[in-house]
Amino acid sequence: MTPPTDTGETANPEARALLAAHDWATTPLGPRQAWPTALRAAVELMLDSAQPVYIGWGAELVSLYNDGVIPFVGGRHPASFGKPYRAVWPQLWAEFRPVFDAIFAGRSRAFVDQPLALAGRSGRSTSWLSFTITPLRDDAGVVRGFYCAALETTERVLAERETRQTYRALFESIEEGFCVIEMLFDAQGRPVDYILLETNPAYVRHTGLANVEGRRASEVVPMLEPFWFETYGRIARTGRSERFEHSARPIGRWFNVHAFRVGEPHQHRVAVIFDDITRDKQLIQAERARQSRQAYELALSDALRPLGDPETVRQTAAAVLGRHLGAPRVAYAEDCGDGAHFLVYPNYVDGAADLSGRFRYADYGDALRAQLLAGRDLVQPDLAHDPTLDADQRRAFAQLGIGASMNVPLVKDGRLLAFIGVNFNIAHDFTADEIALTRLTAERTWAAVEHARAATVLRDSEARLAAAFESVPAGIAAIDTAGRTIVANAEYQRYVPGGLIPSRDPASLNHWRGWDPVGRPLAPHDFPAARALRGERMMPGQEMLHVDDTGREIWTEVTTAPIWDTAGTVTGAVTVISDISGRRRMLDALRRSEERLRQFGDASQDVLWIRDAASLQWQYLTPAFETLYGVTREAALADNDYRSWLALIVPEDQPRAMAMMDRVRAGEQVAFEYRIRRPSDGSVRWVRSTDFPIFDAEGSITLIGGIGHDMTELRETGQRLTALVEGIPQLVWRAGADGAWTWVSPQWTTFTGRSPRDSHGWGWLSAVHPDDRATARDAWHEASKLGGLSAEYRLRSGEDDSWRWFQSRAVPVRDEAGTIVEWLGTSTDVDDMRRLQNQQTVLVAELQHRTFNLLGLVQSMAETTRRSSRGLEDFLTKFNSRLAALARAQRLLSRAGVGTLDELVRGELDAFGALEDARVRLVGPAGVVLSPDSVQILAMALHELTTNAVKHGALRHAGARLSIRWHVEAASDARRLHLEWRETGVDMTALQVQGTGQGRVLIEQALPYQLSARTTFALTGDGVHCTIDVPLGSRAPG
């Protein structure tokens, strides 16, 4: 059945009419206007489709279909329209129920040439269809049904069956081999094998392979080349037929092949028609090989004939062979003679990497050297599958891109000399002709290389001789008995351009002058060449002054020697003329340099000296030796004994001096200090010596030199400065330009307990109180701009971990350009001064406050006394008594001696007439001694509490009570005094508190600061409650 053609009319009219007329409200789908959007869209697509389309919707899969499905439904139409799928297709329900499960799980399904038992087709029990089933989702995205589009393929399937039967009869009778194969692909889609589905009788004749149907090619023909799989796989995928000729090496045959795809593309089937053309190929290849061999031998001979360089011979022969074979790489290698290595010369390569270098035989298979040494060719057509190689060796070949290899050896007299290696990137079947040509190339190459080596050696020898003759920086010549030049280099011809020695050539005689040892001019017959021709040997040579044509003077040394024949007759001479002008200039410069050194040494205040490195005897000594050592230079040089110099050094320093001398003799430069005792006056002097080795041209230490400097005054100054720095009470230190400390005095180490190393850099900050470190750093940041540093911060004492205030000041040290190079600074202990200043501030404020309070108290006392007095006399008596009590309290407050707590408490209460008051209760031991530091501050605190009680508290109100209790507790670090002041029964509602009050500040701030006290002060509902806890006999840190 084919889909309807486009006639221009509305598609699927019958389905449209049924859809419109059907009462959908009575079905599970409900009224049509309420259908989900996806269902309505699918129905519209179905009605517009030109091919059979079937829709199932809902849990019962209610059926909707277009006109193309009606023939399959048959007599059940139109009653099936709108019915559940199971009712429409009962014969298919069991088969397709798993399919619908997959659809409702969201997975589409596709079928090709699916046979179906469709009752609607009369006269046909089975129909074949290709169709897809796709999930349909409702507006919420949930799968509610399916959409099936189909195409009937029954006629095609039946026609193919008939055609196949016809083809079967045909290919059974043809002479060509024929087979149908099914290609197999791996997970990456690469063709890896095929199955032989059908073969004809001729297949067996052409291949020699029987009973192959249903079997894999890899099973029938192991090691079959990948070419066959790749080619058939390509045809199966593309559908393009191919004709080709190729060999099947495992069965030793050539085939002419025509291959084309059959069946559906997804079946991956290929039909192959082929002929066995092995015999024809063998005849053709034999003739080609003969012609090729002749052409190759001629080309190789022509290429090697003109070459004289071994390397060029090797590369040319490899290139000729590589191009002829079409090989990516050909290399000529020689055995190294050690039984383990071979040397590969630069390769001929065509798209491959060069693999020249020294290699081990073992890395390329155990059989390589043994087979080559035996004179056998090592041919490996498929290295990836070579069973003679282990996995590592096969992997190594693969990494080098070598798929096939052939090595042909050259063995002479049982010795492996060389071999030629031919590589292919992929597997390659080496033919007998290729092996023969490679063997021929190896023979010809080795012979040509040996010939070229011999010629190269000869040329190199002649060239070296000529080069040596010309490159010698002297004129060299051989002359005959007449003084004429036989052979000479260019340098000799520059001195003797006429070719005749000066003593025989009047024209050149005036260009040469010489003097004998006593300074007399040489006569021409005493010139060196003339004497050599008389049989005299002039070695060493004669210095001669040569003046060239420009008037330039050149000092030369002329060396000559006679040439004798076997009879003892002089037949000529050899003469050498060397330019020694430079040497004479160097000697002159050396004399001038020595003179300058002598003058420098004589003027230097330091002792300059040079000793022989072996004997340690002085070679040079300046006059300053006498000034420093008290021994004349002449006496020191006359008694040139190393032990005499050591005797001048004080015994304690002699071992160090000898050790330093040994280090210099070993090649090290040293600087050290030692003391000497002057024989002239017995005084001791400090010497700083800088000693160093002096090397000759060969790098050997032949001399040692030194500079001795008198350090006595500098050390004495340093000692005085050290004594000064270490004697002052300040902490002294030095810092770099950035504030990082470089040195600290012993006072710093003693106080902080930190070593110099721990204090260097910014390590000194660890001794600064954490709250003050930012202040210290900020001071350094501003120091450069301010031209100085001034800061106060606390430092921790290493002895008792207490903190003390220090004032640090520093001044910069500048270079000539005004740049700060370092800082010199001190830190001064100002802790006591700061404590005294704080105490003074508190006392002044307290004095002002107490004066005001005292006046108020006097006024209050006067008024209270006036109201309670019967007359003036009674007033004066009471008032004077209270003034006396107040004076006693003031005297106790002002004294700095030792006092007790009970005396202090009683004195304050008595001053206000409250000591015997029944409202007051005192509980505590007598005789608790207070330190001088605590008497006054505690007296002020008690006075404030008492004053407050008189003015506002328990001593003012009749029903109130005052309890004062104290006791001493033994703590782990020291004894502590605990005092409690508690007022009760005070009407606090009438009390108006303004501010913190001087008394409260004194208790809550002054006491903790000055006495390290722990205090509380609270205005409770019925009076003041105050506690004071203070250490006895201790002093709080500032």
Comparing 239 with 868, the larger pLDDT belongs to: 239
Mean pLDDT across 395-418: 91
In the DSSP assignment, the letter for residue 857 is: H
Tell me, what's the pLDDT at 474? 87
Q: Predicted confidence band at 922 (pLDDT cuts at 50, 70, 90)?
A: very high
| DSSP per-residue codes, 252-270 | TEEEEEEEEEES-GGG-EE
Q: Give tens-digit pLDDT for 549-575.
A: 888 999 999 999 999 988 889 999 999
| DSSP per-residue codes, 874-913 | HHHHHHHHHHHHHHHHHHHHH--S-EEHHHHHHHHHHHTT
Q: Give tens-digit pLDDT for 577-621.
A: 988 888 888 877 777 877 777 777 677 788 888 999 888 898 888
Whether the pLDDT of residue 7 is over 60: the answer is: no
Cβ-contact 325, 310 below 8 angstroms: no
Element of type H or E holding 378? strand 378-380
Tell me, what's the pLDDT at 482? 92
Comparing 932 with 148, the larger pLDDT belongs to: 148
Q: Predicted confidence band at 301 (pLDDT cuts at 50, 70, 90)?
A: confident
Mean pLDDT across 830-842: 81
Whether the pLDDT of residue 236 is over 90: the answer is: yes
Tell me, what's the pLDDT at 718? 62
Tell me, what's the pLDDT at 309? 84
Whether the pLDDT of residue 327 is over 60: the answer is: yes
Whether the pLDDT of residue 896 is over 60: the answer is: no
Q: Give tens-digit pLDDT for 130-153.
A: 999 999 999 899 999 999 999 988
Cβ-contact 164, 172 below 8 angstroms: no
Token pair 């008995």 is at which residue?
481
Nearest 5°: CA angle at 814, between 808 and 819? Answer: 110
Whether the pLDDT of residue 993 is over 80: the answer is: no
Cα distance between residue 100 and residue 107, in whole Å = 9
Q: Predicted confidence band at 1034 (pLDDT cuts at 50, 70, 90)?
A: very low
Whether the pLDDT of residue 1036 is over 90: the answer is: no
Q: Which amino acid is at 421?
A: G
Contacts of 508 (CB under 8 A, 6+ apart): 496, 497, 498, 500, 502
Q: Give tens-digit pLDDT for 468-515.
A: 677 778 889 999 999 999 988 888 998 999 889 999 999 888 999 999
Sheet holding 684-695, edge to edge: 618-621, 607-612, 701-710, 684-695, 670-677
Q: Predicted confidence band at 1038 (pLDDT cuts at 50, 70, 90)?
A: very low
Whether the pLDDT of residue 16 is over 90: the answer is: yes
Tell me, what's the pLDDT at 429? 92
Q: Give tens-digit pLDDT for 729-753.
A: 788 888 988 889 998 888 898 889 8
Token pair 């420093």 is at which residue?
628
Cα atoms in the 13 Å half-sphere on the side-chain side of 764: 24
What are the DSSP E strand ranges found in 386-537? 404-412, 415-424, 474-479, 485-488, 512-514
Element of type H or E holding 554? strand 553-564
Cα distance between residue 708 and residue 686, in whole Å = 10
Tell me, what's the pLDDT at 726? 65
Whether the pLDDT of residue 173 is over 80: the answer is: no
Residue 48: phi, psi to the nearest 5? -90, -10
Of 21-30, 103-112, 207-216, 986-995, least confident by mean pLDDT is 986-995
Whether the pLDDT of residue 125 is over 60: the answer is: yes
Sheet holding 961-970, edge to edge: 920-923, 961-970, 975-984, 1023-1031, 1014-1020
User: Which among 723, 823, 811, 717 has a CA at the least distance from the CA of 764?
Assistant: 823
Whether the pLDDT of residue 988 is over 50: the answer is: yes
User: Which among 703, 699, 676, 677 has a CA at the least distance from the CA of 689?
Assistant: 676
Q: Predicted confidence band at 885 (pLDDT cuts at 50, 70, 90)?
A: very low
Tell me, what's the pLDDT at 890? 59
In this structure, are strands 1023-1031 and 670-677 parallel, antiparallel, or unpaired?
unpaired
Tell me, what's the pLDDT at 723? 62
Tell me, what's the pLDDT at 1035? 42
- Residue 420's DSSP bridge partners are 332, 408
Domains and CATH numbers, the chain: 13-156 (3.30.450.20), 174-276 (3.30.450.20), 282-458 (3.30.450.40), 472-585 (3.30.450.20), 604-715 (3.30.450.20), 729-825 (3.30.450.20), 834-1031 (3.30.565.10)
Token pair 């020294």 is at which residue?
358
Cβ-contact 406, 435 below 8 angstroms: yes
The structure tokens listed for 674 are: 């030692």
Cα distance between residue 12 and residue 48, in whole Å = 7
Cα distance between residue 699 and residue 721, in whole Å = 45
In this structure, are strands 961-970 and 920-923 parallel, antiparallel, or unpaired?
parallel
Mean pLDDT across 748-761: 90
Q: Which amino acid is at 629?
A: Y
The structure tokens listed for 23 are: 């009462």
Cα distance between residue 760 and residue 747, in whole Å = 15
Provide the b/e sequence for 471-504 (b: ≥16 CB within 10 Å): eeebbbbebeeebebeebbebbeebbeeebbbbb
User: Which among 343, 337, 347, 333 has a CA at the least distance from the CA of 378?
Assistant: 333
The structure tokens listed for 283 are: 């005849």
Q: Give the chain's end-to-end CA distance (angstroms, integer).
A: 113
In this structure, are strands 415-424 and 329-335 parallel, antiparallel, or unpaired?
antiparallel
Token pair 């069965």 is at which residue?
251
* Cα→Cα distances 20→13, 14, 33, 71, 772, Å: 11, 10, 11, 21, 96
Whether the pLDDT of residue 886 is over 70: the answer is: no
Q: Give tens-digit pLDDT for 41-72.
A: 999 999 999 999 999 999 999 999 999 999 88
Q: What pTM did the predictor assign?
A: 0.29
Tell me, what's the pLDDT at 965? 97
**Rounded-to-10 torsion of CA 373, 376, 378, 381:** 180
Tell me, what's the pLDDT at 560? 93
The stretches of 511-580 forming alpha helices (DSSP H) are 528-533
Contacts of 223 (CB under 8 A, 6+ apart): 249, 250, 382, 385
Return the CA Rg of the chain. Answer: 62
Q: What's the length of the chain? A: 1038
Element of type H or E holding 938? helix 932-951
Is 257 buried (19+), middle (13-18) or exposed (0-12) by CB count in 10 A? buried
Of 137-151, 222-236, 773-787, 996-1010, least confident by mean pLDDT is 996-1010
Comparing 833 with 266, the larger pLDDT belongs to: 266
Residue 507 DSSP SS3: helix
Q: Predicted confidence band at 465 (pLDDT cuts at 50, 70, 90)?
A: low
Element of type H or E holding 392? helix 391-399
Mean pLDDT across 814-823: 87
Q: Predicted confidence band at 991 (pLDDT cuts at 50, 70, 90)?
A: low
What's the mean per-residue pLDDT of the chain? 86
CB atoms within 10 A of CB 386: 17
Q: Predicted confidence band at 255 (pLDDT cuts at 50, 70, 90)?
A: very high
Tell me, what's the pLDDT at 936? 66
* Cα→Cα distances 397→284, 362, 401, 435, 461, Å: 34, 13, 6, 21, 42
Is 689 buried (19+), middle (13-18) or exposed (0-12) by CB count in 10 A? buried
